[in-house]
């Protein structure tokens, strides 16, 4: 009986051991499934859920006429999977594949082969090779993949080279309005300007696609897919008009060269709404290459100071060289809103407005300027040291007389004067929808009301000892232009969605009525006289009644002495203002008066901008004399007929050839030629075009220029300050000296004066 017992015992014991081990495994399972279940389930879910972000298209930026200023385009990004190459076990095969990839991509993408080879050696399964590639390059890559897949000895390039959608931001106008528009980083996030300020709107909302994916990263069948649609970015329609912007940029960049100024910045504003039509800050940059220093001067300065500091390093105190980003920031800076300056005499507009509004002065108020005034323990000199003598109210602005301004401010007193300082918006941000607007800091940029002393009052009356930003100044002057309403300036007219539907539209906002319509109109008249006969006469544009005020202030810098800021701020036409313009020339070399440096620039901007806007001319009698004529159609007529036809107009003819009939004429019929201009008539078949070399008109007076023009058989259109024909001199001509043009060509010659424009 012991044997079956033994047999039984062994079998039962073995069964017990097995049952015990099974129980252990069940406990283990319980631990894994019940206690650790959630953790593992989360991990499983984590790998099974693909949460893909769908990036919405970034909105565009348009100018007022729907010209595209910034736009995103679909491009492609090429990447490789180095792992797929390096896992090939056979060395010759592996290197063969590597070379196919390297040589193929380097040719198509125009890249250095070694760089790509280095990419293929990386320990990674994703390596970006190049982004922002165009469709044709993508096609070439797809062809390359195809080609090797269909070879006798196929290479599966499709697993190695991949192409993903990518987005590129294009700025069709390169540097136009660059400091306003701004740019985006490689991740598509706005970094400056409107791109930064309206980033959220432009970006839209990214969507998500949540899907269950299997271990091969493909979608699991019969599993859910949840899509949260992306909201496409909205687009901005600006009030900015590329033509006005172009005019402003053209005028200012030319001035950058002639004045050799550090910076020049300016704004063109619609006076009734506060809408920004143009805004320039120079030096600027190319939006498509924002990191490249565009200005040659800046680039040279950057390079020079690098080596200069290297040499200094041997000296006692080596100074840190400034980084490239310092210079990049200089060109990205929108000085029209970010810089502050002493407004100088331009601020007399505010002083005059306050005195008129408060009734402490009127049109008949007179003053005698002796050249200086003792006020609040100090003596204040007028810029004209010998004094302006007896003056009327209008002369305050026309002569830009400092003692007169101090006297008027003194009559108002600190408190009332400060009321207007505040009312015109100099203690607050204008609220313009652009980034980087300077916050006026009390006690730093201007004196607080509590500390505003009599001495401050005197300085403030002619715009010294405090700082304002250009946008503040032009907004205040626009208030004078529009009848006393201080507007909130804006640059985005409306926001439209991807379908072009208007999402929101900016309504012009009146902040407050600062001065009455009556006060405003008196100041406007005075400002018009500043331009027609006063210090601003270089801003004069025939037929447009420009009103404005010049300003000059000394920059208080530690490094240099005698550096100035010349400015002009004004609007036109004076009796029904449309646009306001502010021009600030920062550190011009040589001449530095606002009337001499900034006013001519404003004049050019006014002339071109108002013409573009189609504002009708309203000529004075004296201006009418210089008015243009329309060239009559003389071709086909006999020479005598032609002569008799022009005799009724102030047009001269010059006949070339011995023929009887006019075969062709220049300028052609319908073109505008100046009064007393010339039309060249050709009568010979053989000779229908006569050319002349353009002479240098600069430096001559109007009559001298006219004489030279007649001599050469050219027409000149006179622009700028031309009424005081004795004291104006040409400073610029539309076609450069030495160029060859057809006889009879119309050349615009710009004149300015140097007399009595020192401020």
Partner 1 sequence: MENKSLSESSFAKRVVRKHLCYGSFDIWFLIILLALVCFGLVMMFSASYPYALNMYNDSTHFISRQAPFAALGIVMMLIISRINPYVWKHYAAPILIIAVLLLLVVFVLPQYKAGFYRWIDLKFTTIQPSEVAKFAVIIAGAVIYDKYKNHMSSSRVATTPIAQKVNKKLGAGIVRESWVPTWLFCGYFILCSLLVFLEKHLSGCILLFAIGVVMMYLGGVRQRWFVIAVASVAVLGTLVCVYIMATKDSDSTNILQGYMKERIVGWLDKDYDPTGTRWQTNQALYAIGSGGFFGKGLGNSTQKYMYVSEPQNDMIFSIVCEELGFVGAAFVIILFVLLVYRGIVIGLHAKTRFESLLAMGIVFQVGLQVLLNIAVATDSIPNTGISLPFFSYGGTSLIMLLCEMGVVLAISRESSLNKK
Check residue 88 for interaction with partner 1 (CB under 8 A). no
Over the Cα atoms of the chain, what is R_g?
37
Between 30 and 726, CB nearer to partner 1: 30
The site map against partner 1 for 124-163 (x = CB under 8 A) is ----------------------------------------
Q: What angle do CA 755, 756, 759 make, to 5 degrees?
A: 125
Between 86 and 754, CB nearer to partner 1: 86
Q: Which stretch binds partner 1 (CB under 8 A): 44-52, 74-82, 117-125, 271-279?
A: 44-52
> How many C-beta atoms lie closer than 10 Å to residue 275's C-beta?
23
Burial label, 757 (beta-carbon count in 10 A; 0-12, 13-18, 19+): buried
Check residue 7 for interaction with partner 1 (CB under 8 A). yes
- Alpha-carbon distance of 138 to 130, in angstroms, equals 11
How far apart are CB 2 and partner 1 at their closest, in Å? 8
Q: Which of 143, 183, 216, 553 binds partner 1 (CB under 8 A)?
A: 216
DSSP string, 388-441: -EEEEHHHHHHTT-HHHHHHHHHHHHHHHHHHHHHHTTTTS----SSTTPPPPP
Contact 610, 653 (CB under 8 A): no
How far apart are CB 5 and partner 1 at their closest, in Å? 11
Binding to partner 1, residues 550-609 (CB under 8 A): none
The site map against partner 1 for 377-406 (x = CB under 8 A) is ------------------------------
How far apart are CB 22 and partner 1 at their closest, in Å? 5
Tokens standing for residue 663? 């075969």
Residues found in the chain = 759
How far apart are CB 9 and partner 1 at their closest, in Å? 10
Check residue 10 for interaction with partner 1 (CB under 8 A). yes
How far apart are CB 214 and partner 1 at their closest, in Å? 3
Check residue 210 for interaction with partner 1 (CB under 8 A). no
How far apart are CB 94 and partner 1 at their closest, in Å? 18
Q: Which of 3, 153, 560, 562 binds partner 1 (CB under 8 A)?
A: 3
Binding to partner 1, residues 458-497 (CB under 8 A): none
Long-range contacts of range 633-637, CB-CB < 8 Å, 24 or more positions apart?
Answer: 633/665, 633/669, 633/670, 634/662, 634/665, 634/669, 634/679, 634/681, 635/662, 635/663, 635/664, 635/665, 635/669, 636/661, 636/662, 637/661, 637/662
- Alpha-carbon distance of 732 to 135, in angstroms, equals 47
Which helix (H) or strand (E) is 82 found in, with range?
helix 82-86
The site map against partner 1 for 217-246 (x = CB under 8 A) is ---xx-x-----------------------
How far apart are CB 19 and partner 1 at their closest, in Å? 6
Contact 718, 541 (CB under 8 A): no
How far apart are CB 225 and partner 1 at their closest, in Å? 14
How far apart are CB 145 and partner 1 at their closest, in Å? 23
In 3D space, the residue among 238, 230, 222 whose CA is nearest the CA of residue 203 turns out to be: 230
DSSP 219: B
> How many C-beta atoms lie closer than 10 Å to residue 306's C-beta?
13
**How many chain residues are in contact with partner 1, going by CB under 8 A?**
39
Between 89 and 557, CB nearer to partner 1: 89
Three-class SS of 662-692: CCEEECCCCCEEECCEEEEEECCCCCCCCEE
Between 12 and 229, CB nearer to partner 1: 12
- Alpha-carbon distance of 438 to 669, in angstroms, equals 53
Between 32 and 444, CB nearer to partner 1: 32
How far apart are CB 490 and partner 1 at their closest, in Å? 54
Contact 258, 601 (CB under 8 A): no
Between 37 and 636, CB nearer to partner 1: 37
Check residue 215 for interaction with partner 1 (CB under 8 A). yes
How far apart are CB 223 and partner 1 at their closest, in Å? 7
Between 10 and 52, CB nearer to partner 1: 10
How far apart are CB 224 and partner 1 at their closest, in Å? 11
- Alpha-carbon distance of 714 to 712, in angstroms, equals 5
Q: Which of 1, 48, 397, 653 binds partner 1 (CB under 8 A)?
A: 48
Pairing outcome for strands 715-720 and 746-753: parallel
Q: Which of 1, 12, 184, 616 binds partner 1 (CB under 8 A)?
A: 12
Between 7 and 381, CB nearer to partner 1: 7
Q: Which stretch binds partner 1 (CB under 8 A): 45-53, 56-64, 635-643, 690-698?
A: 45-53
Binding to partner 1, residues 177-196 (CB under 8 A): none
Which helix (H) or strand (E) is 361 found in, with range?
none
Q: Which stretch binds partner 1 (CB under 8 A): 11-19, 146-154, 310-318, 748-756?
A: 11-19
> How many C-beta atoms lie closer than 10 Å to residue 110's C-beta?
10
Between 43 and 512, CB nearer to partner 1: 43
Contact 472, 267 (CB under 8 A): no
Q: Which of 14, 107, 229, 306 binds partner 1 (CB under 8 A)?
A: 14
Between 41 and 669, CB nearer to partner 1: 41
Between 36 and 707, CB nearer to partner 1: 36
CA-to-CA separations, 249 to 51, 280, 546, in angstroms, rounded: 47, 6, 20
- Alpha-carbon distance of 664 to 566, in angstroms, equals 48
Burial label, 472 (beta-carbon count in 10 A; 0-12, 13-18, 19+): buried
Between 212 and 498, CB nearer to partner 1: 212
Q: Which stretch binds partner 1 (CB under 8 A): 22-30, 258-266, 273-281, 370-378?
A: 22-30
- Alpha-carbon distance of 569 to 483, in angstroms, equals 16
Residue with tokens 């001519």: 600
How far apart are CB 52 and partner 1 at their closest, in Å? 18
How far apart are CB 82 and partner 1 at their closest, in Å? 17
Tokens standing for residue 684? 């010979």
Binding to partner 1, residues 24-43 (CB under 8 A): 25-26, 28-30, 32-34, 36-41, 43
Residues whose CB is less than 8 angstroms from the CB of residue 504 and which lie 6 or more positions away in sequence, other chains included? 494, 495
How far apart are CB 90 and partner 1 at their closest, in Å? 14
Binding to partner 1, residues 635-674 (CB under 8 A): none
Tell how far CA 72 is from the center of its chain: 19
Backbone angles phi, psi at 89, to 5 degrees: -75, -35
Q: Which of 44, 306, 313, 755 binds partner 1 (CB under 8 A)?
A: 44
- Alpha-carbon distance of 192 to 290, in angstroms, equals 10
How far apart are CB 123 and partner 1 at their closest, in Å? 12
- Alpha-carbon distance of 710 to 283, in angstroms, equals 40
Between 21 and 107, CB nearer to partner 1: 21
Between 14 and 107, CB nearer to partner 1: 14
How far apart are CB 210 and partner 1 at their closest, in Å? 14
Residue with tokens 């791109």: 195
Between 15 and 227, CB nearer to partner 1: 15
By the criterion CB under 8 A, which residues form the site for partner 1?
3, 6-8, 10-12, 14-15, 18-19, 21-22, 25-26, 28-30, 32-34, 36-41, 43-45, 47-48, 212, 214-216, 220-221, 223
């Amino acid at each position: 009986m012991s044997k079956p017992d033994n047999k039984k015992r062994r079998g039962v014991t073995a069964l017990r051991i097995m049952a015990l081990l099974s129980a252990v495994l069940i406990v283990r399972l319980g631990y894994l499934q019940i206690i650790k279940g959630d953790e593992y389930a989360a991990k499983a879910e984590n790998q099974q859920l693909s949460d893909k972000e769908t990036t919405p298209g970034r909105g565009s930026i348009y100018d007022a006429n729907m010209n595209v200023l910034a736009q995103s385009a679909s491009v492609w990004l090429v990447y490789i999977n180095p792992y797929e190459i390096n896992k090939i076990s056979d060395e010759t095969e592996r290197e063969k594949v590597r070379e196919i990839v390297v040589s193929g991509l380097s040719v198509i993408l125009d890249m250095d082969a070694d760089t790509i080879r280095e990419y293929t050696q990386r320990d990674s399964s994703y390596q970006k090779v190049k982004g922002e590639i165009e469709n044709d390059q993508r096609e070439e890559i797809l062809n390359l993949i195809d080609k090797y897949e269909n070879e006798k000895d196929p290479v599966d390039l499709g697993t190695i080279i991949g192409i993903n959608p990518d987005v590129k931001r294009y700025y069709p106008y390169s540097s136009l309005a660059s400091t306003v528009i701004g740019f985006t980083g490689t991740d598509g996030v706005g970094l400056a300007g409107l791109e930064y300020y309206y980033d959220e709107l432009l970006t839209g909302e990214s969507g998500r696609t949540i899907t269950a994916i299997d271990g091969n990263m493909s979608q699991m069948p019969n599993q859910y897919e949840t899509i949260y649609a992306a909201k496409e970015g909205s687009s901005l329609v600006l009030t900015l008009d590329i033509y006005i912007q172009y005019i402003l940029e053209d005028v200012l960049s030319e001035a950058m060269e002639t004045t050799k100024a550090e910076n020049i910045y300016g704004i063109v504003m619609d006076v009734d709404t506060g809408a920004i039509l143009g805004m320039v800050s120079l030096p600027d940059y190319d939006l498509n290459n924002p990191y490249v220093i565009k200005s040659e001067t800046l680039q040279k300065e950057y390079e020079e100071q690098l080596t200069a500091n290297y040499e200094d390093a041997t000296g006692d105190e080596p100074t840190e060289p400034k980084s490239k980003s310092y210079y990049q920031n200089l060109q990205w800076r929108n000085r029209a809103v970010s810089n502050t300056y002493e407004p100088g005499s331009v601020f007399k507009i505010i002083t005059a407005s306050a005195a008129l509004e408060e009734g402490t002065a009127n049109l008949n108020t007179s003053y005698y300027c002796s050249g200086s005034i003792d006020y609040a323990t100090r003596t204040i000199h007028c810029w004209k040291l010998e004094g302006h003598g007896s003056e009327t109210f209008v002369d305050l602005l026309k002569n830009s007389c400092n003692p007169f301004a101090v006297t008027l401010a003194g009559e108002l007193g600190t408190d009332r004067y400060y009321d207007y300082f505040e009312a015109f918006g100099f203690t607050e941000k204008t609220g313009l929808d652009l980034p980087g607007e300077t916050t006026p800091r009390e006690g730093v940029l201007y004196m607080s009301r509590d500390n505003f002393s009599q001495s401050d009052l005197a300085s403030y009356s002619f715009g010294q000892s405090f700082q304002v930003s250009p946008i503040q100044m032009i907004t205040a002057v626009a208030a004078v232009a529009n009848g006393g309403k201080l507007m909130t300036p804006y640059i985005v007219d409306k926001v439209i969605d991807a379908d072009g539907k208007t999402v929101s539209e900016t309504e012009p906002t009146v902040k407050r009525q600062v001065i009455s319509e009556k006060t405003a109109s008196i100041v406007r008249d005075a400002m018009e006289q500043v331009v027609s006969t006063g210090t601003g006469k270089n801003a004069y544009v025939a037929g447009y009644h420009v009103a404005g005020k010049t300003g000059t202030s000394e920059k208080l810098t530690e490094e240099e002495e005698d550096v100035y800021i010349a400015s002009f701020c004004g609007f036109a036409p004076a009796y029904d203002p449309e646009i306001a313009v502010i021009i600030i020339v920062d550190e011009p070399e040589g001449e530095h008066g606002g009337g001499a440096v900034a006013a001519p620039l404003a004049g050019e901007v006014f002339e071109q901008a108002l013409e573009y806007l189609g504002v009708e001319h309203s000529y004075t009698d004296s201006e009418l004399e210089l008015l243009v004529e329309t060239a009559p159609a003389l071709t086909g007529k006999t020479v005598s007929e032609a002569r008799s036809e022009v005799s009724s107009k102030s047009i001269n003819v010059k006949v070339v050839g011995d023929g009887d009939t006019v075969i062709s004429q220049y300028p052609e019929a319908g073109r505008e030629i100046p009064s007393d201009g010339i039309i060249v008539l050709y009568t010979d078949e053989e000779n229908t075009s006569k050319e002349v070399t353009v002479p240098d008109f600069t430096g001559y007076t109007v009559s001298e220029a006219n004489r030279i023009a007649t001599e050469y058989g050219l027409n000149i259109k006179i622009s700028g300050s031309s009424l005081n024909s004795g004291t104006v001199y040409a400073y610029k001509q539309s076609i450069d000296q030495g160029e060859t043009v057809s006889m009879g060509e119309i050349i615009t010659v710009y004149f300015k004066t140097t007399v009595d424009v020192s401020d």
